[in-house]
């Protein structure tokens, strides 16, 4: 076990669920960006990462519709939902907390 208090294999599994949650929500959200890559750490260190590839049109315009921004909120929460489904609400990690901060920030900017 490392400083996280979690064995590497269990941590990798949790990160895999979390990142898969983001990717699954993206796939289920109409008009959302394509998933380009998902990384799961080999050992303790940085958490995982899901890379999204916006369409050329989206990237060129720099303009976001309300439905796209709502999709971003859903996708950001997908990791937290996946952790909760896999491990229960008492075992959600700080990775999910970072997603909540991201959602709160985006929601404030949308108002």
Catalytic residue flag (residue 19): yes
Question: Would you put residue 41 in left (φ > 0), alpha (ψ -120 to 50) or beta?
Answer: beta
Residue 67 buriedness (CB in 10 A; 0-12 / 13-18 / 19+): exposed
End-to-end CA distance of the chain: 43
Bridge partners of 50, per DSSP, are: 38
**Which one is catalytic: 1, 9, 13, 19?**
19
b/e string for 53-63 if b means 16 or more Cβ within 10 A?
eeeeebeeeee
Catalytic residues: 19
């Amino acid at each position: 076990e490392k400083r996280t208090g979690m064995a590497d294999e269990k941590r990798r599994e949790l990160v895999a669920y979390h990142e898969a949650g983001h990717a699954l929500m993206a796939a289920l959200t109409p008009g959302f960006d394509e998933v380009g890559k998902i990384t799961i750490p080999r050992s303790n260190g940085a958490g995982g990462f899901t890379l999204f590839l916006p369409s050329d049109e989206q990237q060129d315009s720099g303009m976001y519709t309300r439905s796209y921004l709502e999709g971003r909120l859903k996708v950001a929460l997908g990791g937290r939902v996946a952790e909760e489904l896999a491990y229960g609400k008492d075992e959600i990690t700080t990775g999910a907390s970072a997603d909540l901060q991201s959602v709160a920030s985006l929601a404030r900017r949308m108002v």
